[in-house]
Amino acid sequence: MFKTDRPLSYFKALLLGFLFQFGSASATAGQAEWTEFKQRFVLAEGRVVDVGNGGISHSEGQGVTMLLAVHYNDQKTFDRLWQWTQTSLQVRKDHLLAWRWTTKHGVNDFNNATDGDLYVAWALLRASDKWHVPAYKAAAEAILNDVKRLLVKPSKWGPVILPGSAGFEKPAGQIVNLSYWVFPALNDFSRYAPDPVWDQLGQSGITLIGESHFGKWQLPTDWVQLGNKVIPAPGFPAQFGYDAVRVPLFIMWGKKASASVLAPFQAFWGHYQKTPYVPPTVSIENDAIAPYGAASGILNIADMTCRYPALQIRPEYPINTQDYYSATLLLLADMMVEEQSR
């Protein structure tokens, strides 16, 4: 047996010192990655550029980046992002955001994308709480009131979130995107903008994910239709793809994880982690996978899902080689891990 004359308090202090240094190193690395992200994707006027999608800007990108700015305590960048978002995207008759902006045409689609609205409202609420700016909260509440008024609809599974104010209510049933159930945001809405609907949406989201088991791997598709039962949405690729990969991230972050809910994702990613590459998409019609490997943002979510609940800060996926979407997934996953380790 190992023996020592040192008191127990010595080893407690040593351990605390190690944890402090590890936490400080992680925070420093996170700030460096945030700086890298800003340099690559955020313009001086506060516009976020999706370099992997033709250089457009969209409400999702603005909202996610505002959320990251709050996390990294960067109010100066946050204000630039919010100013551009208000001026350029909050141009509808309601408080929702036009979802798409291009350098050639400005807003070229005035429909909203509800995940973008949710990210922006979430960021504003967190910013109000952190920096004590009442105007942020008022702006968030105005967006959320219109989300409830225009986008939250009843269904046999409970309230659901339409992906946009136009085009998603069909005679055969509503079309929804399960990655728009941003469970950690719904949790914060219940805290900062209380309304029973947020918890109800949290419950309906898990129910719908449980009903969306398709193909060999029993995975959800990016888009589903809510008719007599939940089916892959007609007119959309019948695949588990770039939208649905966010579903397990939000399940874990929103503290909705259970063995049964995560099992399909773990089975799929666990299988392909033993093969030459992990595909970013898989068809639920013929189980065909993409002929190329997933980017680091998706690989990181796959790793976290397969080892849940043993989450840790990822050291192996730098963002400097990633496109906008992969980089945001990496930074959002880091946010989740840091928040759950507090």
Per-residue pLDDT tens over the stretch 214-270: 999 999 999 999 999 999 999 999 999 999 999 999 999 999 999 999 999 999 999
Which listed residue (50, 60, 117, 141) is catalytic?
60
Does the pLDDT of residue 8 top 50, yes or no? no
pLDDT at residue number 109 = 97
Q: Does the annotation mark 74 as catalytic?
A: no
Instruction: Give the mean pLDDT of 149-166.
Output: 98
Does the pLDDT of residue 17 top 70, yes or no? no
Give the strands of the sheet with 173-176, arranged side by side: 169-170, 173-176, 224-226, 230-232
pLDDT at residue number 28 = 65
Q: Can you tell me the distance from the alpha carbon of 263 to that of 265, in angstroms, rounded to the nearest whole number?
A: 6
3 state DSSP class of 155: coil
Closest CA to 314 of 324, 295, 325, 301: 301
Using left for φ > 0, alpha for ψ between -120 and 50, and beta otherwise, residue 169 falls in beta
Percent of the chain residues past pLDDT 90, beyond the cut: 87
CB proximity list for 305: less than 8 A, separation 6 or greater: 248, 249, 252, 262, 265, 266, 269
Which listed residue (33, 74, 115, 146) is catalytic?
115
Does the pLDDT of residue 144 top 70, yes or no? yes
3 state DSSP class of 288: coil
The topology (CATH level 3) of 152-342 is Glycosyltransferase (1.50.10)
CATH code matching the domain that covers 30-150, chosen among 1.10.1740.10, 3.40.50.1820, 1.50.10.10, 1.10.150.570? 1.50.10.10
pLDDT at residue number 1 = 32
DSSP state letter for 146: H
Read off the pLDDT of residues 79-116 as tens digits, 9 standing for 90 and up: 999 999 999 999 999 999 999 999 999 999 999 999 99
The 10 Å Cβ neighbour count of residue 293 is: 15
CATH 1.50.10.10 residue ranges in the chain? 30-150, 152-342
pLDDT at residue number 22 = 41
Q: Model confidence at 16, in pLDDT bands (50, 70, 90)? A: very low
Q: Does the annotation mark 60 as catalytic?
A: yes
pLDDT at residue number 318 = 87
Does the pLDDT of residue 18 top 70, yes or no? no
